[in-house]
């Protein structure tokens, strides 16, 4: 399979703030507010988590394309974190690199980060949307709902999960939020499923310096097995933010007013790409970005378009979140009776890179299920009828309607 996407492993939509704060490129004449110390800590955590996720996925997909949005994954799990308790909460915080930050700090700074990212560059379209869909015969903790509404601007809606149309309603929301680039994240709703927490991201950036389509030509692209396939190769020459060392060349291509950009890393012919990926951590990334300098040169970049999907369970378990996927999970801050766990985390992305710019989308769905359920859920939390009968004769001894169980 093509290895193209490895050269575009980290788009600015995932690592936008690192690029904005560390890149030597000055973003036009636009003033951007300074980040708070907690915002910086949150961004470092998201970036570190994203690099670890990328490495873990790469361990299992050596010869395939990979394209993820760590921001989307982090945000969907951060919403879920508001319902976690005890050891489950601790494991999720540690895996997400959020240990040391309070619930309030995490929530407030995700809110401010969302507000900043979506308004950063008027020449770049960047949207973040969150939603929670839950089984309509269950009542979840109001504080959990309120936190996700307030801090993640989440749409919260109850649905009849037994209706065949329920998944279509959720997928229609996903389709709308990703401008039609990702049409489905929920393939089916199982009878144990009680909630879907979903993050959707859409990005469309026009290159600050566009490639001339007339200069695009036929070329060959070398695959991991050293065979070659034809591709359309774009070309551009000029001054670029550039860095090279003994292992790779790197270039930073800006969008719009330069507040978003794409970083491309090309391993030297003698360097195995998987070995380079193993070096990806927050310290190395920051160091590499800090070494970019403006230099004259030319960039040859293939046009590409792909969709990617992955069930994230094994990746997140490997990163220490296993308890959240087990019978020992504690989501009592979400649903006080307990018995809930994360059954699936599904991730889908889309990306297209051409002469004009880049269009990308991502959706992450966290599926919450019950550890055991025998066909139905009955939560008596509204007016109900009660009857007492004698079973041998079938005589009804008492019958009544309860509209207020606290009234004497």
87-116: pLDDT as tens digits: 999 999 999 999 989 999 999 999 999 998
Mean pLDDT over 339-345 rounds to 97
Nearest to 113 by CA among 66, 101, 123: 101
Confidence of residue 28 (pLDDT cuts 50, 70, 90): low
Domain layout of the chain by residue ranges: 4-206+304-370
Match 């889908």 to its residue by tokens. Answer: 348
The strand pairing partners of 342, in sequence order, are 368
Confidence of residue 398 (pLDDT cuts 50, 70, 90): confident
Q: How far apart are CA 344 and CA 71, in angstroms?
A: 18
Is 184 within 8 Å of 198 (Cβ atoms)?
no
Q: How far apart are CA 7 and CA 4, in angstroms?
A: 6
Confidence of residue 3 (pLDDT cuts 50, 70, 90): very low
Q: How far apart are CA 186 and CA 171, in angstroms?
A: 6
Q: What is the Cβ-side half-sphere exposure of residue 16, based on CA atoms within 13 angstroms?
A: 25
The strand pairing partners of 242, in sequence order, are 251, 293
CATH 3.30.450.20 fits 4-206+304-370, yes or no: no
Confidence of residue 387 (pLDDT cuts 50, 70, 90): confident
Q: What are the C-alpha distances in Å from 273 to residues 11, 270, 286, 299, 390? A: 18, 9, 19, 19, 75
Mean pLDDT over 69-84 rounds to 96
Residue 17 phi, psi (nearest 5):
-75, -30
The strand pairing partners of 305, in sequence order, are 352
Radius of gyration (Cα) for the chain, nearest Å?
25
What is the full DSSP assignment across 216-276?
-EEEEEE-TTS-EEEEEEEEEEEEEEEEE-SSEEEEEEEETTTTEEEEEEEE-TTS-HHHH
Q: What are the C-alpha distances in Å from 194 to residues 143, 184, 198, 324, 334? A: 18, 18, 13, 15, 11
Is 305 within 8 Å of 351 (Cβ atoms)?
yes
Is 194 within 8 Å of 369 (Cβ atoms)?
yes
Mean pLDDT over 157-184 rounds to 96
């Amino acid at each position: 399979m093509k290895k193209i996407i490895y050269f575009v492993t980290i788009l600015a939509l995932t690592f936008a703030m690192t690029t904005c704060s560390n890149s030597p490129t000055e973003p036009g004449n636009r003033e951007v507010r300074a980040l708070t110390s907690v915002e910086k800590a949150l961004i470092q955590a998201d970036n570190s988590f994203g690099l670890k996720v990328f490495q873990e996925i790469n361990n299992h997909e050596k010869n395939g394309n990979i394209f993820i949005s760590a921001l989307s994954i982090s945000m969907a799990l951060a919403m879920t974190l508001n319902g976690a308790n005890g050891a489950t909460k601790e494991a999720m915080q540690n895996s997400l690199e959020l240990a040391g930050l309070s619930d309030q700090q995490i929530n407030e700074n995700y809110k401010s980060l969302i507000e900043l990212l979506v308004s950063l560059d008027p020449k770049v379209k960047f949207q973040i949307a969150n939603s929670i869909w839950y089984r309509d015969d269950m009542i979840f903790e109001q504080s959990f709902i309120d936190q996700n509404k307030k801090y993640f601007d989440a749409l919260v809606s109850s649905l009849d999960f037994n209706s065949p149309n329920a998944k279509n309603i959720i997928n229609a929301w996903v389709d709308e939020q990703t401008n039609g680039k990702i049409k489905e994240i929920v393939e089916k709703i199982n009878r144990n499923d009680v909630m879907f927490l979903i993050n959707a991201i859409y990005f469309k950036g026009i290159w600050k310096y566009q490639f001339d389509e007339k200069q695009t030509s036929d070329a060959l692209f070398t695959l991991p097995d050293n065979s070659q396939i034809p591709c359309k190769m774009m070309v551009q020459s000029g001054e670029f933010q550039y860095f090279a060392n003994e292992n790779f060349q790197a270039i930073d291509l800006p969008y719009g007013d330069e507040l978003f950009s794409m970083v491309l890393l090309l391993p030297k012919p003698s360097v195995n790409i998987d070995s380079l990926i193993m070096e990806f951590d927050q310290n190395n990334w920051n160091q590499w970005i800090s070494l970019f300098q403006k230099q004259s040169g030319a960039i040859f970049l293939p046009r590409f378009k792909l969709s990617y999907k992955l069930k994230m369970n094994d990746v997140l378990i490997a990163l220490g979140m296993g308890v959240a996927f087990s019978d020992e999970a504690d989501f009592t801050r979400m649903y006080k009776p307990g018995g809930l766990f994360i059954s699936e985390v599904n991730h889908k992305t889309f990306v297209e890179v051409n002469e004009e710019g880049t269009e990308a989308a991502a959706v992450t769905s966290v599926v919450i299920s019950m550890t055991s359920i025998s066909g139905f859920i009955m939560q008596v939390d509204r007016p109900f009828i009660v009857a007492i009968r004698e079973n041998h004769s079938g005589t009804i001894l008492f019958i009544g309607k309860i509209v207020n169980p606290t009234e004497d």
